[in-house]
Each structure stands twice: as C-alpha cells, then as structure tokens.
A and B are shown apart, each in its own frame.
Chain A
Amino acid sequence: MFDEILTIFLDGAIYASWLFIVAVGLTFVFGVLKILNIAHGGIYALGAYSAATIVPIFYTLGLPEEFVIIAMLFSALAVAIVITPIMERGLLRRFYGQDEVLIVLVTYAIYLVLEDVQKLIWGMKSFYVSEPREILGGVEMGSLYYVGYDLALIGLAIFCGLTLWLTLNKTRSGKIVLAVIHNPEISGCMGVNINKVYLAAFFVGAFLAALAGSFTAPLISVQVGISVAVVIESFAVVIIGGLGSIPGAVIGALIIGMARAACVHKFPEAEIFIMYFCMAGMLIFRPKGLFQGAQARKI
C-alpha cells in the first residue's frame, strides 16, 4: 500500500517535472508575447532529435562520460539559437497586436512545417540514446528501484522554475520583462526596447522546450510524431494553472502528473483522457485558471 502510494507519487513527480519544463516555456512566451505557441511541441521534438544526434557523436569522441549532460544542454541551446530568429523575427513579428486566434493559427502552421522538417532531416527511423540515463546510477527505496537520471529530472525542473522566477522578480532585466508583460506600450515609451525583450523571451521559451526535448530523449525512442502529445499536454497544464503564470505551471504540471500517474496504476483505461478531464473541470469551476488575477473590463 505504502509502496504503491510512493510509486504513484514519484512517477507523478517525474512526469510532472518533464511536463513543467515544457509548459513553463509555453506560459512564459504567452505571458510576454501573448502568443499561444502550438509550435512549442515542434521545438520540443527538434530538441529531442538534436540530442539523439549529438549524444552518439559525443560517445565516439571518447570524452569523460559525465560531460554528456553538457552535450545535451548544448544541443538544446543550438536548437533555440537556430529556431528563434526564424520564428520570432521572421514570422511571428508580423502578427503582433493581431487577433490571438489568428496567431494561434500561424503557430499551428509553423508546427505543421516543423513536423515535416523533422522528417526531412532525420527521416522516418527511430533513435535510441539511452546511454546518458545510466550515468547517474540508481536509487533504491525499500522495494522500489528508481533510475537516478529520472529523479534528477525533478531537480532540473525545480532549477529551471526557480531560475526563471528569480530572474523575473529579483533582477533588473527581469523587472523590465515584467513591465513589458504589464503594458508593452508604456514600457516602450519609457525607453525599453520591446523587440529585444520579445526576442529574448521567445528564446527562453524555445530553449526550455528544446531542453525538455533533449533531456527526454534518453527516456523514449525519438521518432516521428512525438510532438503531438506534448502540445496538448502542455496546453492542459497552462490552462489549469492560468495562462502566463509560472506558479500556475507548477501546480498544473503537478495536478496532471499526479492524476496521470494515479490513472496508470489504478485505472489504465482513463489514462488518455484524464488530463482533458482535469482541464475541462478546471475551466468549468475557474475559467481563467488557478493563478489568473482580476482584469479590468473595457466598456
């Protein structure tokens, strides 16, 4: 009994931390740019593919094994560096200030393009890169055995969330971003370079998506179609927590992670739609999510 609860809790926490890293990027980009980025899932997949490419190269070089983490970090960074100028500068910039739904549709189009770009670059085959998963060994808890790498993901999620939150609330540049979130026009008048803030924010979002992708690569088989589930799951998290809220993303990821882990162990039939139930339920009782403040109505 206790083991079962612990299993559900740990599985849920691992799943939630993965989900959080993806969703926090999505919610941050929405907070700053007011764009609900469907292509976020595509960037995630690119991150996974690039890790799947870099990790084998790393092992052929024969460097110390622990540095593979840095290689994976680097692969995520590379994806963000390539994708940000193309997406933000090249495309999304044309649509700022337009109808939200129109922009969602543009990101949907970019998502479709990214799907085929993955196929063009990496083909239809699956990649398995499970080597990094072994570097941290395992942890025994009573009768349970957990892979250290999986547990380290929880730490990574906490680290990402804390860094983002502290940067936003405690540093000068973070406060500038908060000002832009609050009112881009007035911050522009005060001398803030809004385009730069938007670019930086999009970069952070893309990096977080790619990071989640590259650190998940060792856990899964990287293949065509891995981005689809990510899009909807991270949407559910963001909707539950409230669009644009970082604490909201934490709670949303935890709710969905735990609910899903409980379902996997108790009612496997419900696994597929439990998160939509969570999302629909939350929207019915708290339409704007958990952490959405009051907003002035325009008359």
Chain B
Amino acid sequence: MINKFYNNLIVQSIFLMSILIIMGLFIPNWLVFVITKAIAYGLVALGIVTLMRGGLVSFGQGFVFAIGGYTAGLLGTQAGLTDAILLLFISFLFTGFVGLIIGPLLARYRDIFFAMLSLAFSMVLYGVLIKIDAIGGSDGFVLPESTYFGILPSTEYADYMLYLVSIILSGIVSILLRYYYNSTPGLIALAVRENELRVEYLGASAFTVTVLNFTIAAGLGGMGGALNGIALGHIDPEFSYWTTSGEFVFISILAGYLSVPAVFLAALLLELVRSFSGRYFPDTWQLILGVFLILSIIYIPTGIGSFFKKFMDKLNKKKNK
C-alpha cells in the first residue's frame, strides 16, 4: 500500500512537472519569470514549513536567503563559476552547513523567541552586508549571465532555461521532502509540535529533530536565495531584510504545513498579487498586499494545504469503498 503511494507520488510529480515544462514554452515571458521567482520563494517557504511541522516559525529566513544569494553571486563574479545548476547546488550545501552550525544555538528556543532570534541574525547580516563596500554595499551587485552545462542560452531562452531548471529542481525537492516528512524524524517533528515534553519522555530527542529541520530549512533557503539572485540577475542586502522574511512566513502560513505543492501555489499567488498590484497600482501595492494577507488569514487560517488534504482524504475514502 505504502509502496504504491510512493510510486504514485513520483509518477504524479513527473506528470505535473512535464505539464509545467511544456506549458512554459507557450506562456508569455513575464509569467515564466514570475513562476521562477515564485519557485525561489516557495523553496524558502518550504524550509519554514519544515520548521513549522516541528512547531517553530522563523522570522529570519532572509538570513539564509541572503547567504545563498551572495554565495551564488560571489562565486559567479569572483570565481567565474556561472553554471546555474552547480551554483544552486553549492548554495544549498553551503547554507545547509551554516544552518548546521547555528542550528544547535537556535534549537533551544521556542515560539516567539525563536522567531525573534532568527530575526536578529538576519538583521545583523543585513547590517554587515550594507557596510561592506567591496561587494556593493547597499546597492548590491550584478550577477554574470548563467550557463547550463557550459552552454550560454540566447537571451530569448535564458528565462525559459532557468524556469526548466527550477521546475525540475522543485519537483525533486518536493519528492525528497515528502519522503523526509514520512520518515521517522519527520514524524517525530509532528509529535514535537503537539507536545515536546512527551516526546522527550518517550525517548526521542526534540533537539536533534529541530536541528535537522533547521539545517534542511537553511539549505532550502540558500537554494531559494541563489535561484532568486540568478533570476533577477542582481543581489542586494534587501534579501536579508525583515520584510523579505515576512513574505516567506506569509507564504508558509497561506500554504499550511500539510501539503508540499500548496507551498508553491501560495508563493505563486503572492508573486501574482505583487506583480499585478505593482503594475496597476504602483503607489498602493503594499496596501493591496496587506489586505490580501488579512483576507487570506481570515478566510483560510489553516492554509491552502488543508483543502488539498480534505480533497485527498475524500478521494481515498471513495477508493476504499
């Protein structure tokens, strides 16, 4: 039964990915860009969702987002490494490593204190980044155009290539995360969310699970930062600013912690609202974003993922009958 489910999951994901990849050839260029950006934001939000499963919300994912972005950017400008896939992968590993170092420090905190300490980390980084003039200070710097397996795509197809890479990447990440969520530490995280003390009494370590979740979240945040930097072609300290982190938290709350695809859907929704209001109401886009946030929290407090889950549960019931 479980085996079937996994087979199904992979088949489903590949199916969905191929639809999106083919769709990318026909949709306008701006939408390709918006989806790529949404995937970058979605990857970071997936990290928060991973933490949320363990009952923690980080208000400072901008920290790893910026580290990822700057890693990719500096490798591109200083070391001449422009392969997008390699950059994404290195950023993932490097920020994951950073997460592994500061994870044990943060894992002792809960609730609002965890959120605030992570916020403090991201703002310290912000303060440092705008002071280092060698890497552009508050203006940031421009990334070189990225290549794919040594080939530099023509400007027409540059956006689509990155879109292709990000779709495949997010598909793989989603599948792996689903495996992780259903693994022992993944399930212990849910128990930690419910009642940490009981988990400890039963002999599992909430601390280890939290550090593991934090490391994964950091890696994903770094990858998202690198992808966002490559997509924009530009990196600045704003990546680490608290309002950026606020957007990630919003995406993960809008998605809920039940479903992985819901996170990307929520990220896409946010990106669309932002680009439309930025285009048509340039002076009041924050107002529209704020109202959108409030309405979605009022009407879907458990997240889009809860719809998905309800739908899947119904489907399973019918099958069983």
Closest to B105 in A: A284
The interface-forming segment of A113-121, A154-162, A168-176, A252-260 is A113-121
Chain B contact residues: over half helix, strand or loop, or mixed?
Answer: helix
The docked-state distance in angstroms from the alpha carbon of A120 to that of B61 is 31
**B284 contacts across to A, CB distance below 8 A:** 116, 119-120
Contact indicator per residue, chain B 229-250, by CB within 8 Å of chain A (1) or not (0): 0000000000000110010011
Task: Find out whether the CB atom of A280 lies under 8 angstroms from the CB atom of B289.
Answer: no
* A 98-135 binary contact with B (CB < 8 Å = 1; else 0): 10111011101111110111011000000000000000
- Whether the Cβ atoms of A108 and B301 lie closer than 8 Å is no
A-side interface residues, number (CB < 8 Å): 43
Which residue of A has the minimal Cβ distance to B121?
Answer: A280
Q: Is B253 an interface residue (CB 8 A)?
A: yes
A112 near B124 with CB under 8 A, answer no
Given contacts A109-B297, A110-B290, A115-B286, contact A299 B116 (CB under 8 A): no
Q: Given the complex of chains A and B, what is the CA–CA distance between A109 and B294 in angstroms?
A: 6
Q: Which of A112, A235, A280 contacts B293 (CB 8 A)?
A: A112
Residue B156 is within 8 A (CB to CB) of chain A in the complex: no
**CA A243 – CA B243 in complex, angstroms?**
22
Q: Are B127 and A100 in contact, CB atoms less than 8 angstroms apart?
A: no
Contact of B124 among A106, A243, A277 (CB under 8 A): A277
Inter-chain CA distance A277–B121, complex, in Å, is 9
User: In the complex the two chains form, is B112's CB within 8 Å of A106's CB?
Assistant: no
Give the residue of A112, A113, A288 whose beta carbon is less than 8 angstroms from that of B113.
A288
Whether a CB of chain B sits under 8 angstroms from the CB of A287 is yes
- Asked if A94 and B298 sit within 8 Å, CB to CB, the answer is yes
The answer to the question of A279 belonging to the interface, with a C-beta cut-off of 8 Å to chain B, is yes
CB distance from B169 to the nearest CB of A (A): 28
A106 and B297 contacting across the interface, CB-CB below 8 Å: yes
Given the known inter-chain contacts A105-B250, A299-B198, please indicate yes or no for A243 contacting B112, CB distance below 8 A.
yes
Q: Which of B91-126 contact A (CB under 8 A)?
A: 105, 108-109, 111-113, 115-117, 119-121, 123-124, 126
Whether A273 touches B128, Cβ cut-off 8 Å, given contacts A100-B111, A279-B116, A283-B116, is yes
A78 at the interface (CB under 8 A from B): no
Within 8 Å of chain A (Cβ to Cβ): is B57?
A: yes
Q: Is A66 an interface residue (CB 8 A)?
A: no
Residues of B284-314 at the interface with A, using a CB-CB cut-off of 8 Å, are: 284-287, 289-291, 293-294, 297-298, 301
A105 touches B286 (CB 8 A): no
A101 to chain B: closest residue by CB? B57
- A276 at interface (Cβ–Cβ under 8 A)? yes
B301 touches which one: A102, A231, A277 (CB < 8 A)? A102
B108 touches A102 (CB 8 A): no
Contact of A111 among B59, B120, B290 (CB under 8 A): B290
Contact (A232, B123) CB under 8 Å given A109-B294, A284-B105, A299-B197? yes
Is the CB–CB distance between A112 and B286 below 8 Å? Answer: yes
Residues of chain B contacted by A98 (CB below 8 angstroms) = 301
Do residues A108 and B246 form an inter-chain contact, with CB atoms below 8 A?
yes
Of residues 186 through 231 on chain B, the ones whose CB sits less than 8 Å from some CB of chain A are 195, 197-198
The answer to whether the Cβ of B130 comes within 8 Å of any Cβ in the partner chain is yes
Contacts of A109 in B (CB 8 A): 289-291, 293-294, 297
Q: What chain A residues lie within 8 Å of B287 (beta carbons)?
A: 112-113, 115-117, 120
4 more contacts with CB within 8 A, not counting A101-B57, A105-B249, A108-B246, are A111-B290, A116-B283, A117-B287, A298-B197
Chain A to chain B contacts (Cβ below 8 Å), 15 pairs: A94-B298, A100-B112, A101-B115, A102-B253, A104-B112, A105-B253, A105-B293, A111-B290, A116-B284, A119-B284, A232-B123, A269-B131, A276-B124, A280-B117, A283-B113
